[in-house]
Structure 1
Amino acid sequence: MEGLYRYSRNPMYLSLLLLLTAWCLHLQAGLSLLSCVVFVLLINRLQIKPEEKLLTQQFNEQYLQYCRNVRRWL
């Protein structure tokens, strides 16, 4: 595995989380950091889990091995 995908299975979502976190810090509103938690919960449930199910069906053991070696977020 090469590039970002050897560190995170979802680098795009990770970058969005980092951007959202930076924006919340820029706003200097502590309560806005809750949006980061909500983002992670929603993206896990509505996007990542369905994607992982399809990838497991398509690539089976090869994808499961990748999942064992690379974390979902970081």
Structure 2
Amino acid sequence: MNAYRSKPLKFPWPPVLYGLAFVSAFLLGEIAGLPVPRVHSAFAWILGTALTVAAVSLDIWAIKTLLESRTTILAHRATAHLVTRGPFRYTRNPIYLGYTLATIAFGLMTANSWFYVAAVVAAIVTTFVAIRREERHLQARFGCDFESYCRRTRRWI
């Protein structure tokens, strides 16, 4: 199979990676008893709630944009079109950014700082395991159009 028809991933890793990050942060904060600074405040909870709303809204906007563009929302399927509108005008990975923001938000709402660490680790691992492969797939499918998109739109924010 040529690169044009190949799939970016064989398995949809990002949701699994963020799920593992979430569980790890919870275990480190609650079960392992490792010392971690905890900030309990109404402001942190309100900020976390607002960040959760923003993260979910970003994910919904991105999924809606992909569906309207008649391309897949699944990372392990070949894309049909290069989507550069909607949230993709601002970030090349709005769904993964939404996952990261939601992880941080949960840390704020639960006063568990391990979620901040988990969000950073999940973002780094997602970049190496999924995003770079997806970018190679998009480069093979869309060539110069994808290169131009990369020059004007950041990978994360």
* TM-score, length basis structure 1: 0.92
Q: What SS does structure 2 have at the residue aligned with 1:58? A: helix
Provide the aligned C-alpha RMSD in A.
1.0
> Conserved in 1, the CA contact under 8 Å of 2:103 and 2:115?
no
Unaligned stretches of 5+ residues in structure 2: 1-83
Q: Could you tell me which residue of structure 2 aligns to residue 25 of structure 1?
A: 108
More helix by share: 1
Aligned residues, how many?
Answer: 74
Structure (1 or 2) with the larger CA radius of gyration: 2
Matched, 1:34 2:117: yes
Q: What corresponds to 1:64 in structure 2?
A: 147
Alignment identity in percent? 32
Of residues 15, 31, 35, the one that matches 2:98 is 15
| Residue 32 of structure 1, CA deviation | 2.9
Residue 3 of structure 1, CA deviation: 1.0
Higher relative contact order (CA 8 A, sep 6+): 1
Mapping of 1:38-57 within 5 angstroms? 38-57=121-140
Moved runs in structure 1, 4+ residues, more than 4 A?
A: none
TM-score, normalising length: structure 2? 0.45
